[in-house]
Structure 1
């Protein structure tokens, strides 16, 4: 017999949060598998980011759906190309977007800016050009 279970956590979800329905056949397995289940729906995150090698150094602007993974790839020099060739591994700025089209549009916009505008953008949020991913654990 097939049962349907609603997975929610009243401590985490508000009345406006959608409830996710999971069809299953075995009530014991669903109870054992989901001791704690948290889901925010079909919400994606996209990032536009700026890397450098030093304060006022070479700049790279990129876009990704997983900022931690992408910064790790840059730091570990896993991807051949511009960032590896110039040693760009310091994350000095990023913006988050829900929709990929918005992130792509912003990336293209920033790439068309002159250098001083990019520097001003970085320094408005990160005056000392600190590596924002310095303490991240990968």
Structure 2
């Protein structure tokens, strides 16, 4: 089973959200369709701009918590370095 840590954004350099999941496609779909009330629905955050794969749920969760502690500029720099186009990676998952 695969586990993921991910960052979604409202737009380039916009509002960011970091999460972790064991089903990235399903979870990003939930964000896109605003199926859950909360931060991402309120701020229209649904563009998948970065993700990484982990071997365990614990590792994905630890990485999520680590990134959530980062300064915003570090998250922006990591996204820009790894995905300078900021296009939605969701379509590439298929």
Report TM bin, short chain.
over 0.9
Q: Does 1:46 align with 2:46?
A: no
- Please tell me whether Structure 1 or Structure 2 has the larger radius of gyration of its CA atoms: 1
Q: Does 1:70 align with 2:27?
A: yes
In structure 2, what is the Cα distance between the partners aligned to 1:63 and 1:45? 11
Structure (1/2) with the larger helix percentage: 2
Which residue number in structure 2 is paired with residue 120 of structure 1? 77
Higher RCO (CA-CA < 8 Å; seq separation 6+): 2
User: What displacement does 1:125 show?
Assistant: 1.2
1:1-138 alignment to 2 at 5 Å?
44-134=1-91
Moved segments of 4+, more than 4 Å: none
Q: So what's the TM-score if we normalise by structure 2?
A: 0.94
In structure 1, what is the Cα distance between the partners aligned to 2:67 and 2:34? 24
How many residue pairs are counted as aligned between the two chains? 94
